[in-house]
Structure 1
Amino acid sequence: MADEEINCWKPAADDIHFGKPTTDEINLMKSKRKELDVKKPMTDDLAGITFRTTTAEDYDDVISVRRHLYDGADYIPYRYYELLEHNTGFAGFIDSTMVCFMFATVIDDGESILLRSIRVRDEYEGKGVYTRLRAFCMKNLSHTANKAVFLISSPTHFEQLCRGSAKLVFSRHTMMFGNTTKSLRGLLGLRDESFLQRVDSSFLGELLRNRTATQYLFPENRVLINWIPYQLVPSNIEWMLRGTEVFSNAVPKQDKIKSEMMISAINVDQCEAGTVVTLDLFGDVCDEEMITGHIYIQLQKALDRFGDILVLYIIFQEHQDTKTVLHVLSKLGWSKVDNYAVYGVEKSI
């Protein structure tokens, strides 16, 4: 992957690498993570760059790599310590200066390595430092990955990739809105939430076993939550629900599914630009009563976590009429800022 791929889309820039390790290999990967010596960097034989894992003490260096990313929607300054609890941070150094950084962790039954929060210092972009950082990560976390899946939002870049070895895995529609909490609070009011059920790990486990339900809700054969594309496997449930409020208006029964079923998932991040809200919708977004219920309830429950300025990303299956979503959000004072497709692209590594 070229260095320029890392800044093609908004909040996460995740890069997932696939392989098929055995149980013993998965355990070996876990043990290797514990064995990494953060005090003793390993040296790449190219350009004298050194690489190592990061700790809480590296916070200032990580933030200094790239400031004001994604028009102020970068969550790393606010979530670095939290993400470090469940991910491994990797960084590259030239002399004593950190020039690149990313988080990585194993998901998808050990088949994938998720790379997120990727950043390269301005003066080193396009010089291959990210490529070498990724190679260092792959060497330490996986010996079997042979392809990557990552998200981009640039149609031109997508076309360029697909002219090479990459192929489209899925695409989803993204709409961006702006608002203020003062305006939203005055319009939101209270709404009956009795028709919605909070989705927990048990619910998701039952849902993933229901082939009809997964085909209807996740036709891309992946669950994209908070910019992370998960395979439909039970081991990902804990990751899907971490920091996420998920609601459903119907319960899947055996191999049947209501056509009006919808699932919504919300994540809230504090960023330089304000409070960034990511709302993922699964199901038919053309049903006004259903979409209104999900949007109102999710925003009501998250309201206490909002700062003054709000940025909303709402993401759903492509090729659906957006009029209903626009109508519902306009009644709540949201102003549309942008819309684009997010592409899930698979590429051999």
Structure 2
Amino acid sequence: MSDICEKLSIREAGSSDYDEIMKIGEFLYGFDFVASMYHQYLTWYHCYVGIIEGQIIAFNAGKIVDGGKTMITSGARVKAKLQGQGIMGQIIKHIVKKLRHISPELEYDCLTATSETTSEHEDKILRNYKYILKQINCDICCKRTDFNTDKINPNIGNDIQEIRYNRLKEIFYSPTSQWMFPDHRIVADWSSYRLLEENIPSLLERFGFWESGHLQSTVISVAETYVVKDRLNYCLNFYGSDSMEIRNHIAFHIQRIPEFVTTKCDDIMLSMLFPEYVQNPGQYYELFKSNCNDKAGQYAGELRLYERQL
């Protein structure tokens, strides 16, 4: 344990800690989702702060999924000048200890990281974690004033249906899930959930699920929206390889974006994640440009999933 960790104390985070947590540093280029969803995080997760000399210098949030078998974390951060000294490792150990009081059968710790993080730290990650899978990330940004849906056929998406509890359970345990969901997992909000009925309530509490393909799903999209500062983030995860159906889902969700835009939103970001088996995901950026805004900017990368046995 480093000298700095000897000074570290850890406690549960509360609503009054918001301002100090936001001062830990700027994350995700200033568009930190925890900033807009902090109070929901206190409900969704078990949240903890790290404190040194009376100041909050770190934060992480842990949650039990997979019927008590797995811990997922979200929103982790440490002050820049204190990174690399083992602080987050101590906080994760603390969260594991606390969550084991709730779920003694806790067995796995799941980690997701962007391609930028893994390019610098993957050797270190692989000392403790096993690589599971990756998804392709495509973010598209534009100004609200440049966004329109006039070129999209309003009839697109008529066969796309929202998925409810019983239908999602049916999909999870169907033969289709074997090829649709790599490693028998679904990724939402950069977190991995095994295809278990126990995960369905928390998934449906936060995300919208949509399917096309009539009696047998060919494509499923998972949607979440939130506003960070002056930007609407519309986040989508796709499952299925039918490119025409994926295009229909994207067009369907693009048509829904105006429902969530407020006068506070100057920018719109459509963030899409695709399983590795989806061919040429860049084509869907071109779909957005040609139908909504030819000035839209694009970011492409990867999200990697790791897991370790505790």
Q: TM-score w.r.t. structure 2 length?
A: 0.86
Tell me which residue corresponds to 2:171. 207
Q: Which of 176, 179, 188 is the matching residue for 1:216?
A: 179
Give the Å deviation of 1:243: 2.9
Contact 1:285 / 1:325 at 8 angstroms: preserved in 2?
no
Q: Which amino acid aligns with 1:153?
A: T
For residues 205-251 of structure 1, give each alpha carbon's deviation from its aligned partner in whole angstroms, at most 9, with x where no partner exists.
111121x2111321332101121111110111122222322210135
Taking the aligned partners of 2:105 and 2:250, their CA distance within structure 1 comes to 41
Q: Distance in 2 between matches of 1:85 and 1:162?
A: 29
Structure 1 residue matching 2:168: 3-state secondary structure: helix
Q: 1:124 to 1:323 in 2, by over 3 A?
A: closer
- Asked if 1:171 corresponds to 2:130, the answer is no
The aligned counterpart of 1:65 is 24
Counterpart AA for 1:134: I
How is 1:169-248 mapped onto 2 (pairs within 5 angstroms)?
169-187=132-150, 191-192=154-155, 193-210=157-174, 212-248=175-211
Please give the secondary structure, in 1, of the residue aligned with 2:67: coil
- Pairwise mapping of residues 39-54 of structure 1 onto structure 2 (< 5 A)? 46-54=5-13
Alignment partner, residue 44 of structure 2: 86
Cα RMSD for the two superposed structures: 2.4
- State the distance in 1 between where 2:13 and 2:125 align: 34
Q: 1:285 to 1:311 in 2, by over 3 A?
A: farther
Tell me the equivalent position of 1:321. Answer: 280
Whether the aligned pair in 2 keeps the contact of 1:286 and 1:322 (CA below 8 Å) is: no
CA distance in 2, matches of 1:163, 1:198: 38
1:297–1:163: structure 2 CA closer, same or farther, 3 Å change rule?
Answer: closer
The residue that corresponds to 2:60 in the other structure is: 102
The within-5 A match list for 1:1-349 is 46-66=5-25, 68-142=26-100, 143-154=104-115, 155-157=118-120, 159-161=122-124, 164-187=127-150, 191-192=154-155, 193-210=157-174, 212-252=175-215, 257=216, 261-272=218-229, 274-287=231-244, 290-306=245-261, 307-319=265-277, 320-322=279-281, 324-331=283-290, 332-333=292-293, 335-349=296-310
Amino acid at match of 1:217: M
Question: What secondary structure, in the 3-state scheme, does the structure 2 residue paired with 1:239 have?
Answer: helix
CA, structure 1 residues 341+69, in 2 after alignment: closer, same or farther (shift >3 Å)? same
The number of equivalent residue pairs is: 296
Distance (whole Å) between structure 1 residues aligned to residue 160 and residue 143 of structure 2: 26
Q: For structure 1, list consecutive stretches of 5 or more residues without a partner in the other structure.
A: 1-44
Letter in 2 for 1:156: S
Check conservation: 2:71, 2:108, Cα contact below 8 A: no
CA contact (8 A) 1:197 1:250 kept: no
Distance 1:74 1:163, change over 3 A: closer
Distance 1:302 1:162 in 2: 37
Query: Does the 8 Å CA contact 1:158/1:343 hold for their aligned counterparts?
Result: no
Letter in 2 for 1:57: S
Q: How has the CA–CA distance of structure 1 residues 268 and 83 changed in structure 2, closer, same or farther, with 3 Å as cutoff?
A: same
Aligned residues: percent identity?
17
- Code of the residue aligned with 1:262 in structure 2: it is V
Q: Aligned partners of 2:88 and 2:17: how far apart in 1?
A: 18
Q: For the Cα contact (< 8 Å) 2:285–2:298, is it kept in 1?
A: no
Offset, 1:158: 6.5
Q: Is the 8 A contact 2:73 2:110 kept in 1?
A: no
Distance of aligned partners of 1:296 and 1:190 in 2 relative to their CA distance in 1, 3 Å threshold? same
Contact 2:11 2:50 (C-alpha < 8 Å) held by counterparts: yes
Cα deviation, residue 348, structure 1: 4.4
Q: Distance in 2 between matches of 1:181 and 1:243?
A: 25
Using the TM superposition, give the Cα deviation of residue 159 of structure 1 relative to its aligned residue in structure 2, in angstroms. 4.8
Q: Contact (CA 8 Å) 2:50, 2:57: kept in 1 or not?
A: yes
For 1:314, the aligned partner's letter is: M
> What SS does the corresponding residue of 1:126 show, helix, strand or coil?
coil
8 Å CA contact 1:282, 1:316 repeated in 2: yes
- Could you tell me the TM-score, scaled by structure 1's length? 0.77
Looking at structure 2, the residues matched to 214 and 272 of structure 1 have their Cα atoms a distance apart, in angstroms, of 37
